[in-house]
Amino acid sequence: MPFNPDDDENIRKAKQRFSIIGNNPAFLAAIDRAMKVAPIDLSVLVTGESGAGKEFFPKIIHNFGARKHKKYIAVNCGAIPEGTIDSELFGHEKGSFTGALSARKGYFEEADGGTVFLDEVAELPLTTQARLLRVLETGEFLKVGSSTVQKTDIRIVAATNVDLIKAVEKGKFREDLYYRLSTVVITVPPLRERGEDIILLARKFAADFSEKYLTAPITLSDDARRAMMLYRWPGNVRQLKNIVEQLALFDAGSEISRRTILEALPSGEDLFKTPAIAHPEHSYEREREFLWQSLLSIKAELSELKKELHHGEQPVRNYPRGAKTPTSLIKYNADDADDTFCTPLVIDDGDTPGDTETPISLEESERETIAAALRQNDGDKKKTAAQLDISLRTLYRKIRELGLTQ
C-alpha cells in the first residue's frame, strides 16, 4: 500500500518512539491508521491475534493525540475478578461492600481528560458492559454503592483477540457496545503474513537478549531463516520473542541451524506452510520430492483444465453429491441440478480412446506452475517463492530461464 511522505514520516515517528520493528505494508498501514486517528477523539478497537503487537496501538493513539499530557491507564479486563471489576473501573463508596473500608476512585475517574486502554475487552461481564456503554455515550457513571451520577471525560481504546461479532451472536457481548467501540477498527496482521518482518524481529530480539544476558550474539543460517518464514507462528511476535530468547541464552555465539530452529518450535504438520518441513530429519531430497509432487498435481489439474477448455462438449458424467472430484474442475450445470446428483462437466481422465494430447514437457509444466502461483499471489515474488517452497533467488532464476514476464 503506498503512503505519501507525511504518512511515512508519521509511521517512522511512531516506530521510533515505541521501538516497533517491521516494514510489512499491512502492518505499516495499521500504524498509519493509528497515527491518523490519534488527534481525533474517537473510540478505537484494536483487533488481532494474540501476541501480534496490539499493545503498541493504544499507546500510539494516546501519545500522538491531544490527551498526551493527561493520564493513560491500561486495564487488563481479563485479569480482574468479576466481583471487583466494577469497583476497579468506576470506584466505590465507603462501606459499599464488605472490605470497602474507604471510598476509592476508579480508573475512569483517575484518567479524567486522558485515555483508558481496555485490553481483552471481550472479557468484561455484561453488567460492566452496560456501565461502560453509559460512559461512552454520556460520560456518566455511578460509583459502586453510590446513587450520585459523576462525569468523566475519557477516550477509550479497546483491544481484543476474539471475534467480537461472534461474541455478540453468542450473547456474550452487547451489540450496542460493539458498535460504539468499533467506530474505528485497527487490525494488526498476524506475524505469518508479514514476510521478512519475521527475520527483522528475530534479529532485533537476538541483539536485545544477547545484550541483556551479556552473551555472544547468535546469527541465523539461511536455512533457519527459511524455516522461520515457513512457520505459522500461532503465538505471533510473543512466540518469536520467547524462542529467540531461549536461543540467545542456550546457543549463544553460534549460528542457528535449521535443525535447532525446528527443535525449538512446537512441531505439527499444520504449523508449517509446507508440511514436509515439520520433520527435523527431513532432507533436501524430501523437500524436492514434495515440490515435485506439488508440480505434478498442479500439472495434472492444468492439463485437465486445458482439455476441458478445448473440448467443451465432452460426455457428461454424473457424480453423486459429495463425491470426491477435484473442486477446481467442477462446473455445475444449474439446469440439471437435483437433490441427488450434481453434474460436473466431465473431465477427460485420459482413458478416452483416441486421446492424442501431447504430454506437457517438464519445462512447460514448471512454467505453468510458476506462472499460476505468480498470478495467485498477484505477482508477489516473496509469497510465490514461499508457496512453491523455493528460495526467492531460485524463483528469479526460473522466471528468467523460463522466459516468464515479471
Residues 30-89 that bind Mg ion (CB under 5 A): 55
Site string for ligand ATP, 151-190 (x = CB under 6 A): ----------x-----------------------------
Residue 228 burial by Cβ neighbours in a 10 Å radius (0-12, 13-18, 19+): buried
Residue 241 touches ligand ATP, criterion: CB under 6 A: yes
How many residues belong to the site for Mg ion (CB under 5 A)? Answer: 1
Residue with smaller CB distance to ligand ATP, 235 or 275: 235
Cβ 172 to Mg ion, closest distance in Å? Answer: 19
The answer to whether the beta carbons of residues 93 and 130 sit under 8 Å apart is: no
Residue with smaller CB distance to ligand ATP, 7 or 123: 123
Among 31, 37, 52, 229, binds ligand ATP (CB under 6 A): 52
- The listed partner (Mg ion, ligand ATP, none) that binds 50, CB under 5 to 8 Å by sort, is ligand ATP
Q: Which single residue brings its beta carbon nearest to ligand ATP?
A: 53
Amino acid at the residue 152: T
The answer to whether the beta carbons of residues 105 and 146 sit under 8 Å apart is: no
Amino acid at the residue 77: C
Residues 188-217 that bind ligand ATP (CB under 6 A): 201
Residue with smaller CB distance to Mg ion, 107 or 141: 107
Residue with smaller CB distance to Mg ion, 88 or 120: 120
Piece of the chain touching ligand ATP by CB under 6 A; list 61-69, 237-245, 268-276, 334-342: 237-245
Residue 29 touches ligand ATP, criterion: CB under 6 A: no
Residue 258 touches ligand ATP, criterion: CB under 6 A: no
Residue 54 touches ligand ATP, criterion: CB under 6 A: yes
Residue 246, C-alpha cell as written in the block = 531461549
Separation of alpha carbons 211 and 192, rounded Å: 27
Strand residues in 89-215 grouped as ranges (E): 91-92, 104-105, 115-119, 140-142, 149-151, 155-160, 184-187
Residue 197, C-alpha cell as written in the block = 518482518
Backbone torsion region of residue 266, taken as left when φ is above 0, otherwise alpha when ψ lies between -120 and 50, otherwise beta = beta
Residue 148 burial by Cβ neighbours in a 10 Å radius (0-12, 13-18, 19+): exposed
Separation of alpha carbons 85 and 117, rounded Å: 14
Binding site for Mg ion (CB under 5 A): 55
